[in-house]
Structure 1
Amino acid sequence: MLLLGIDLGTSSIKISVVDHESQKTLATVSYPEEESPIHSPEAGWAEQDPNMWWQHIQIGIRKAHASGAYNPADIKCIGIAYQMHGLVLLDADGNALRNSIIWCDSRAVPIGQQAFRDLGEQAILRTHLNSPGNFTASKFKWVKENEPEIYQKTKHLLLPGDFVSYRLTGEYCTTNSALSEGVLWDFSTNSVSKTILDHYELDATVIPAIHPVFADHGRILPTIADELGLAHDVHVTYKAGDQPNNALSLNVMQAGEVAATAGTSGVIYGVSDQLVYDQQSRVNTFAHVNHHEATTRTGVLLCINGTGILYNWIRKIAGHGLSYDKINEIAATAPVGAQGLSIFPFGNGAERMLNDRMIQASIMDIDFNRHDSASLFRAAQEGIAFAFRYGLDIMRENGMTPKVIRAGHANLFKSDVFRSSFVSTTNTPLELYQNDGSVGAALGAGMGAHVYRDAKEALKGLQVIADFAPEKGLTDRYEELYQNWKEQLTQKLNTNII
């Protein structure tokens, strides 16, 4: 039996096909080769076309088949990981009514902030573990207020992964984990949040059926199976947001275990066995993939919007067509501290850890006589590492103190400069694994289909490929650099720039 994993990211989709018995990855495909576009009609807005996602997924699956590494008829289960928080609205015929308002869109921040005040900050934190912020529920309220004709036509509210599942199976369904990431889940009642829906005066009938994360989310439509070269008995058996799924792919399932990613956004995600929340809602708590009413497993999530997207921007304006690997090599030629060049990676919407402030990115202390492209490339990576440290300190305030952080050997974690600055600045050991979100989604599908008893069995082949420990000299140097960076950030936050 083969398992197919789909990872719907912001910049691309990734498809992996895994043999359930050997757990060997037989084929992996990313599409498109260049980053998918993000539409920004106004400052702080971010949208993508759900139909583009679906087109890319179809192309990716066909390209995986074209590898010839397996028989497509042997695929029996599909797992889906997806970019979190996005709003997808469908009409009665299942057609997308507008572009998806995606995770880094900031237009609903004022709506969420007002709801937070109106509902009582402590009351909403105790029951929802987050402020409404610019999450999915607030995005839908924005549509109601600003696009009433679309709101009236809406029959189905889906998260991005729910949309992919619907296109595969024709069934509308979601999970408690998905609803929690949209601040549409009340942890005190273990049900859809009547509090949020009533306050926003939203139609509750648009919320689809709720299934467990590991469960049968539907059988593939015969027409879709034929188009994609799949058997008619394939089922979608797993669906989770990209960060909970990344944690699963790294076997981060129990309290105290911590995972990280550094893709378009940067994330540290730690598992707790408590309904924990930050008093200022600077980090978020969602239902983890194995959260149940009887067994609390929450994921405490720090998000930095401007991580890989900053590095991509730097590459476009200063990389002259060079690969990321080559840019990383050039960055390593600059000294630690990038000769005084400093960067704030905050140019991709409102930053939750900065209390939903949108301070934009900054490149500071440029010296035309000293700084070159190597300085710029290194300063970008160090600035991202400093942002991780800033957020990790918030997590530590809330009882999340990792002994080690696990990450896949991908994106910025492939860079020597970033790894060194991350480990030294956070003063935390790092373990790297040869795994990714699409493989995790495939293995999650195996769990949902009961091919595997649990995550331990599903991830029995997971092995550390490299580990890195803080070094005293570097840790001291990076602590000094970080404190200077933090002081500049504090000064910027204390201005009236929003």
Structure 2
Amino acid sequence: MSYVIGIDLGTSAVKALLVTKSGEVAAEASRAYPLFHEHSGWSEQRPDDWVEATIEALKELSTAQGIDPKAIEGISFSGQMHGLVLLNGEGRPVRNAILWNDTRTTAECREIEAVLGEDLLAITRNPALEGFTLPKILWVRKHEPEAFAEAELFVLPKDYVRYKLTGNLHMDYSDAAGTLMLDVAAKVWSVELLKAFQLPESFCPPLVDSHDLTGTLLPDAAERTGLPASVKVFAGGADNACGAIGSGILEEGLTLCSIGTSGVILSYENDKTKDFGGKVHFFNHGKENAYYVMGVTLAAGYSLSWFKRTFAPDESYDQLLAGVGEVKPGAGGLLFTPYLVGERTPHADSSIRASFIGVDGSHERIHFARAVMEGITFSLNESVDMFRSAGKKVDKIVSIGGGAQNPAWLQMQADIFDAEVVSLENEQGPGLGAAMLAAYGCGWFPSLEACAELFVKHDQKYQPNPAAVETYKGLFRLYQQVYANTRSLNEGLAAYR
């Protein structure tokens, strides 16, 4: 029996999967680490906490009952995107990592826009948002000059963990695409952008593909994890890229719908010239010479959990949603916009807030529950709509996360997206994608697609209902009007919050 390990370095914990050649998860281990919010809007972690947690998780896998650690051939990674780790000349962090969900860098985003203008989208294919890495670099240089003076190189979270395991520094294209420093189409660090912000090229690590071999384990890492020093360590990818791989999104026409706290619509793209005007993210895929486009709903599953917490705190989700499939599309003329914490796609607006529109005396709680589910799906459909408007084919959607746990919601997605929706038998997300990169890198399969045929197992399929599709088309156009018609109202209400 041979194995690979997929490591998913998340925001709250690291999760490691031990996977066989047939794609079965033989064991898994997880370790949490702290998150620091020293000031409002700040979000930081200690990079060495990631390393210690990862080593502990690997040790648990290597000593799992019935597992021969010598049979573990490769390791790869999925990592939280955008987080800034600044290293000194000795490879040590000069400060805590600033994470993707840190929002202190609004002024730096405006500076980037002012300096680069239209060149920003032409080079990076993405707008300047607080979550990206370059604004964080500029913030540290401006506010912590002594720490910045020590820094000789930056990496992203998973890259630091891999460096501590192998002694080698690299960054893959899918994660580099989220730094706002990569020429995404050319797959090189942008010399023009680096010069514009007086950053030397040596500040950026060498670029590699996600399946590339980056080394083997250092003797100390091998001893502490219980793994053989000969284990091959592969670059890995950004969490969304690995989530796409782990869901089989590896060819044109395939799209991923992931509903967690936030929601993601991600679609495979092989045309590097496709222009979405910065309305959706455009990143390098974990598959070589491929890309993906992505839209984000900030409060997807969070909207439903808010509704449950507020109106049914003592009930299970099954109780809350019992009968929701019997409510006709449109929830009796009730619309919900899931802007509880602002919105990302297509409205990058931190001030907009949620609305229920069309409430009347006939509505019961179940109508509100269905309206929340429809509103979340309408928000995700904004991205699908933009993909199609740009000429993309979206005819098959793999649904994962909370939205894939309820059959009525899966049918709702098929009807609103007007596409076949498929759930997965064994949903492991980015961790499985990382394991697949290791399996491909080890030579188990001739391609990621061949690996996906064995590792990614589809479950139920939902076809769009023509009558519901037509109903939702009209409702979606009404939904799209709510943002513009409530924006000024929410700006006024902000003073009373």
TM-score tier by shorter-chain length is 0.7 to 0.9
Q: Which residue of 1 is the match for residue 158 of structure 2?
A: 161
Instruction: Please state how far the C-alpha of 1:192 moved relative to its aligned partner.
Output: 0.9
Kindly report which structure 2 residues correspond to 1:54-203, keeping only aligned pairs within 5 A, or say none: 54-64=51-61, 68=65, 70-121=67-118, 123-134=119-130, 135-187=132-184, 189-203=186-200
Instruction: Please state how far the C-alpha of 1:156 moved relative to its aligned partner.
Output: 2.9
Instruction: Please state how far the C-alpha of 1:40 moved relative to its aligned partner.
Output: 4.8
Q: Which moved more, 1:363-372 or 1:107-116?
A: 363-372
- Distance in 2 (alpha carbons) for counterparts of 1:108 and 1:284: 19
- Distance in 1 (alpha carbons) for counterparts of 2:363 and 2:14: 36
Q: 1:177 to 1:329 in 2, by over 3 A?
A: same
Q: Secondary structure at the match of 2:236?
A: strand
Instruction: Please state how far the C-alpha of 1:226 moved relative to its aligned partner.
Output: 2.3
Instruction: Please state how far the C-alpha of 1:442 moved relative to its aligned partner.
Output: 0.8
Instruction: Please state how far the C-alpha of 1:468 moved relative to its aligned partner.
Output: 0.7
Contact kept, 8 Å, 1:37 with 1:48, in 2: the verdict is: yes
Instruction: Please state how far the C-alpha of 1:491 moved relative to its aligned partner.
Output: 1.5
Q: 1:181 to 1:40 in 2, by over 3 A?
A: same
Q: Which residue of 2 is the match for residue 26 of structure 1?
A: 26
Q: Secondary structure at the match of 1:289?
A: coil
Instruction: Please state how far the C-alpha of 1:178 moved relative to its aligned partner.
Output: 1.9
Q: 1:359 to 1:168 in 2, by over 3 A?
A: same
Q: 1:38 to 1:311 in 2, by over 3 A?
A: farther
Contact kept, 8 Å, 1:328 with 1:417, in 2: the verdict is: no
Write the deviation string for residues 29-80 of structure 1: whole angstroms up to 9, x where unpaired.
4555xxx776555555444444444444344444545652533332121111
Kindly report which structure 2 residues correspond to 1:377-392, keeping only aligned pairs within 5 A, or say none: 377-392=369-384
Q: Does 1:402 align with 2:394?
A: yes
- Which of residues 449, 453, 458 is equivalent to 1:456? 449
Give 1:148's aligned amino acid.
Answer: P
Q: Which residue of 1 is the match for residue 301 of structure 2?
A: 308
The alignment-based identity, stated in percent, is 24
Q: What TM-score do the two structures reach when normalised by structure 1?
A: 0.86
- Distance in 1 (alpha carbons) for counterparts of 2:393 and 2:325: 29
Q: Secondary structure at the match of 2:382?
A: helix
- Which of residues 358, 365, 370 is equivalent to 2:350? 358
For structure 2, which runs of at least 5 residues remain unmatched after alignment? none
Give 2:419's aligned amino acid.
Answer: T
Q: 1:28 to 1:48 in 2, by over 3 A?
A: same
- Distance in 2 (alpha carbons) for counterparts of 1:11 and 1:323: 24
Q: Does 1:281 align with 2:273?
A: no
Write the deviation string for residues 366-413 of structure 1: whole angstroms up to 9, x where unpaired.
9798777655654443222111011221222222231111234x3322
- Distance in 1 (alpha carbons) for counterparts of 2:372 and 2:34: 22
- Distance in 1 (alpha carbons) for counterparts of 2:322 and 2:487: 33
Write the deviation string for residues 108-128 of structure 1: whole angstroms up to 9, x where unpaired.
34433442343231x333332
Contact kept, 8 Å, 2:339 with 2:353, in 1: the verdict is: yes
Contact kept, 8 Å, 1:106 with 1:350, in 2: the verdict is: no
Contact kept, 8 Å, 1:104 with 1:348, in 2: the verdict is: no
Paired positions, count: 487
Contact kept, 8 Å, 1:342 with 1:383, in 2: the verdict is: yes
- Which of residues 394, 401, 409 is equivalent to 1:418? 409
Q: Secondary structure at the match of 2:380?
A: helix
Instruction: Please state how far the C-alpha of 1:3 moved relative to its aligned partner.
Output: 0.4
Instruction: Please state how far the C-alpha of 1:321 moved relative to its aligned partner.
Output: 6.6
Q: What TM-score do the two structures reach when normalised by structure 2?
A: 0.86
Q: Secondary structure at the match of 1:26?
A: strand
Give 2:374's aligned amino acid.
Answer: E
Q: Which moved more, 1:316-325 or 1:302-311?
A: 316-325
Q: Secondary structure at the match of 2:177?
A: helix
Q: 1:306 to 1:2 in 2, by over 3 A?
A: same
Contact kept, 8 Å, 1:177 with 1:289, in 2: the verdict is: yes
Kindly report which structure 2 residues correspond to 1:319-330, keeping only aligned pairs within 5 A, or say none: 320=313, 329=322
Q: Which moved more, 1:378-387 or 1:50-59?
A: 50-59
Q: Does 1:5 align with 2:1?
A: no
Q: Which residue of 2 is the match for residue 299 of structure 1?
A: 292
Q: Does 1:469 align with 2:469?
A: no
Contact kept, 8 Å, 2:75 with 2:231, in 1: the verdict is: yes
Contact kept, 8 Å, 1:26 with 1:69, in 2: the verdict is: no
Contact kept, 8 Å, 2:170 with 2:235, in 1: the verdict is: no
- Distance in 2 (alpha carbons) for counterparts of 1:460 and 1:138: 40
Give 2:478's aligned amino acid.
Answer: N
Contact kept, 8 Å, 1:137 with 1:196, in 2: the verdict is: no
Q: Does 1:345 align with 2:341?
A: no
Q: Does 1:429 align with 2:429?
A: no
Write the deviation string for residues 449-489 of structure 1: whole angstroms up to 9, x where unpaired.
22321113212323321111111233334334433332222
Q: Which moved more, 1:135-144 or 1:332-341?
A: 332-341
Contact kept, 8 Å, 1:307 with 1:345, in 2: the verdict is: yes
Q: Which residue of 1 is the match for residue 436 of structure 2?
A: 443
Contact kept, 8 Å, 1:17 with 1:439, in 2: the verdict is: no
Write the deviation string for residues 134-175 of structure 1: whole angstroms up to 9, x where unpaired.
321122112222222332232331122212212322322112
